[in-house]
Structure 1
Amino acid sequence: MSVRDWMDRGTGLFLAAVDGMGDDALDGPTPLPGWTRRHLVAHVHYNAEALRRLVHWAATGQERRMYESADQRAAEIESGARLHPSELRALVHGSARALAADLDALPERAWSHRVVTAQGRTVPAAEIPWMRTREVTVHAVDLDAGVGFGDLPEEVNAALAAEAAGKHAAGGAAAVLAAWLTGRSTEAPDLGPWL
């Protein structure tokens, strides 16, 4: 299964979970501090739009950052969270389709073009499908609507675990993580904030 397959499958899981909830359920909480399910759906919609800007950058060479600023990102999520449920659902479906179409149309030569992530990392455009996979799969679980990590392909879980372990290790938790993951410690490390 390719990373693009992971992205498409994760997108399907996320959208099915959103569609399976009643309108009132969108007001429910998520594990993300201060975010309802509405915020999460709005975030996934605007993430697709932000990634579309990176695809445009890769295709044309015209720089388009994912977000103008952290404040702009937060404001659009808050605004999206106030939309009528049917409008919010239509937006998240539409942006998912548009991102997939943009990726399908990206010329072969453009996949190696460098773009900058919201965290400031410079990466090849070939990373965009993984960036989207991470968003839709983890947030499908965060919706708490019947999707768990066990519903994801094992390869996706392995990639998520490796990436999370790498980030935590780089953040100073390498020793405690190594001890726990190698079975030398029975106590799970306190890894702190969300990734």
Structure 2
Amino acid sequence: MALNDVKTAVAQLTALVTDLDDETARGASVLPGWSRGHVITHIANFSEAMTRQVEEALQGRLVEFYDGGRPARDTAIEAGANRPAAELESHLNSATTGLLTAFGKLTPDDWQRPITHRTSNLAAALNTTWRELLIHITDLGLAITPGDWPPAFCLHLLEFLRPRTPEDITLILVPTEGPTWQSGAGEPRTLTGELQALTAWYAGRTPATPLRGQLPDLLPWP
């Protein structure tokens, strides 16, 4: 279970946005078309939505992740992105604190309770939160990059992203440190580099260090 990892990610995120100024908040993130305000708003809104999944699951209820679905999610991000930095920080801290509090209520018997998000359960929700936080921390384009991802997170993310491998190749990732990782069935395609760089590329982010090999076009995120 990754609860301690999620707590660590929240602490990293909190430190990054503490005393963020308005100019930096409105600066470009590494995501095309999004400022840092967009990323912070998205993380805060995601945290509130996941908190609701947890709290409703504890009551035996299933609810939509975002009221109004993806269109409402996107509208809310745009509406909140240009707020003053202090307001962004306050919203983020309140939302992530609430989420940690909700996860902290769960007993060992609760983790298999179903939720609507990805038609999964609360154990999967915790892993989803881990991914969302660590990936979007790097999307802020501040002090933390994919090169800082822990190896355990890289291996977890590679497994989650297996559906990105094209059907006609066998993707073989050979990290400079760590075990070889393989996905798919087809023509072998071998890439080498640092584990974090390989994982960043597979996740659609820019690797911090070079990769060697012919990069295939990947399928969409699962």
- What is the Cα deviation at residue 190 of structure 1? 2.4
Equivalent-residue separation in structure 2 for 1:173 and 1:50 (angstroms)? 34
- Contiguous gaps of at least 5 residues in structure 2: 173-187, 193-211
Which of the residues 165, 168, 174 maps onto 2:164? 168
Tell me the percent identity. 25
Paired residue type of 2:102? D
Aligned residues: 187
Which consecutive segments of 4 or more residues in structure 1 shift more than 4 A? 192-195
Equivalent-residue separation in structure 2 for 1:181 and 1:60 (angstroms)? 48
Matches for 1:1-195 after TM superposition, within 5 Å? 2-19=1-18, 21-68=20-67, 69-117=69-117, 121-164=118-161, 166-169=162-165, 172-173=166-167, 175=169, 177-178=171-172, 179-181=188-190, 186-191=213-218
Contact 2:41 2:92 in 1 (8 A): yes
- Contiguous gaps of at least 5 residues in structure 1: none
Equivalent-residue separation in structure 1 for 2:88 and 2:44 (angstroms)? 8
SS at match of 2:53: helix
Give the structure with the larger helix fraction: 1
Contact 1:59 1:107 in 2 (8 A): no
Structure 2 length normalisation: TM-score?
0.76
Contact 1:58 1:111 in 2 (8 A): no
Structure 1 length normalisation: TM-score?
0.86
SS at match of 1:177: strand
- What is the Cα deviation at residue 133 of structure 1? 0.7
Contact 1:149 1:157 in 2 (8 A): no
SS at match of 1:30: coil
Equivalent-residue separation in structure 1 for 2:9 and 2:3 (angstroms)? 10
State the Cα RMSD in Å: 2.1
